[in-house]
Structure 1
Amino acid sequence: MKIAIISDIHSNLYALMEVLADIDNEKVSQIICLGDLVGYGCHPNEVIALIKQRDILCLKGNYDASVVDNAYSYIRNTDLNSFSLPWTYEELRASNRFYLSSLPETMTLEFEGKKIKFVHGSPLKINEYLTEDNENIDEIMANLEEDALVCAHTHIPYIKQFGSKLLVNDGSVGKPKNGQPDATYALLEIEKDQPIKAKIKNVPYEFTKIMKDMTMKRFPNRLISSYESGIE
């Protein structure tokens, strides 16, 4: 069976639509979202509506939690966030704030006898950047009781093996930080009594559409240009 993992959509409806179309072509059994539906981009309500419409199982991301709080609870107090956080809070419908607040922070699911732990940041913190060179990564994987850990938050995808345990970061659908504009997501192939297989998929989309929408809404130029450069 195939499982698709998406995350860090960040209010980018156009990227989400293209990724879901690509996932539909893959004929997956389930889609799981690791959070950060909102922030940065200009379509928070539309993104949440599509996630709800598709009945996608979803975690809460650090930006989602901060928007619910309307505070820098789990995000950095930067120039861009000083624009993005209040804008998103004001734009978001009350029902969608409630939806974000109700999402779990972690979950463990079993497929074909394999247990997989899903988190946004790390098993330790919702906003920990679990990069490949994170100083806690060996300890985290040594203490992992499940067969695999799937995380997000860094916006930089990778796949790494720790003995018999697998670590996957799915990257970002809506705001990549790996130096290119394409959306990324992860595919897991799971068969009974076989090691879990994982791959990262790049999905091109018309990023100029969201840049145009953000320009019309007078978003900061540095934030708008990041959608083309793939750099924070």
Structure 2
Amino acid sequence: MKIAIISDIHANVYALINLLEDIDIEKVDTIICLGDLVGYGPHPNEVISMIRRRHILCIRGNYDSSVVDNEYSYIRETPINAFSLPWTVKELREENRLFLANLPSTLTLNIANKSLLFVHGSPDKIDEYLLKDGDNTSEVMNSISNDVLICAHTHIPGMKDFKNKVYINSGSVGKPKIGRPNSTYCILNISKEDGMKVQIKEISYAYKRIVKDMTMLNFPKELIQSFENGLE
């Protein structure tokens, strides 16, 4: 089975359109989204509509949860979020808010005798950062009974073997933190015959289009720059 794993679109419809075109070329069996459809970017309704229209299996991210709550429940109270959270809450259509509110927080699949656990942050906390070399990541990997943990939230893609278990982070579609304004996602190929193959893909998109939209909407300069340079 060939699965495309995407996450952290962050209301960037241009990156999502471009990414889905690449996924279509890959001829995957299914797409799974690990959340954070909204927040930071200017296209929350367009992104959710596209996810719904494509019937993409999706779990909820920490920014999605905070937008549903209309509180700093799972995001930091920073100057950028002081702009982004209320802007997104106001912009989001009610039907799309309800869509986010009803998304599950985790997903478990059994494929080719492998147990796959899909989360946004970690199995314990939706807003926990699991970097591949982090001490907390080792603890989490030792604690789970699943064969594979697939997460996101850090916006930094990666893969690491932990003895007989595998950690995968799909990175970010719409707001990367890799020092480049490129989208990243994961292709996971699993079969009983060939085992499991993991590919992290990085693709460019016309990021100047979202920069133009954000500038016209008077988004904070620091937020716009983060989309341009692929940094926090």
TM-score tier (shorter): over 0.9
Aligned-partner Cα distance in 1 for 2:115–2:21: 27
Structure 1 residue aligned with 2:13: 13
Aligned partner of residue 136 in structure 1, secondary structure: helix
Structure 1 residue aligned with 2:26: 26
Structure 2 residue aligned with 1:131: 131
Aligned-partner Cα distance in 2 for 1:60–1:188: 20
Kept after mapping to 1: 8 A contact 2:132/2:167: no
Aligned partner of residue 175 in structure 2, secondary structure: coil
RMSD: 0.9
Structure 2 residue aligned with 1:181: 181
**Equivalent runs, 1:126-165 vs 2, <5 Å:** 126-165=126-165
**Equivalent runs, 1:68-217 vs 2, <5 Å:** 68-192=68-192, 194-217=194-217
- Cα deviation for residue 142 of structure 1 reads 1.5
Aligned-partner Cα distance in 2 for 1:133–1:65: 27
Aligned partner of residue 191 in structure 2, secondary structure: coil
Aligned-partner Cα distance in 1 for 2:138–2:170: 19
Specify the code of the residue in structure 1 equivalent to 2:224. I
Aligned-partner Cα distance in 2 for 1:130–1:193: 30
Specify the code of the residue in structure 2 equivalent to 1:171. G
TM-score for the superposition, normalised by structure 1: 0.98
Structure 1 unaligned regions, length at least 5: none
Structure 2 unaligned regions, length at least 5: none
- Cα deviation for residue 111 of structure 1 reads 1.7
Aligned-partner Cα distance in 2 for 1:66–1:195: 38
Kept after mapping to 2: 8 A contact 1:159/1:199: no
Deviations 1:167-205 (A, max 9, x none): 100000000011011000001010115432111101110
Specify the code of the residue in structure 2 equivalent to 1:210. I
Percent identity, please.
59
Number of corresponding residues: 232
Kept after mapping to 1: 8 A contact 2:65/2:101: yes
Residues 43-52 or 129-138, more deviating: 129-138
Aligned-partner Cα distance in 2 for 1:199–1:61: 23
Following TM superposition, where does structure 1 have runs of at least 4 consecutive aligned residues deviating by more than 3 angstroms? none
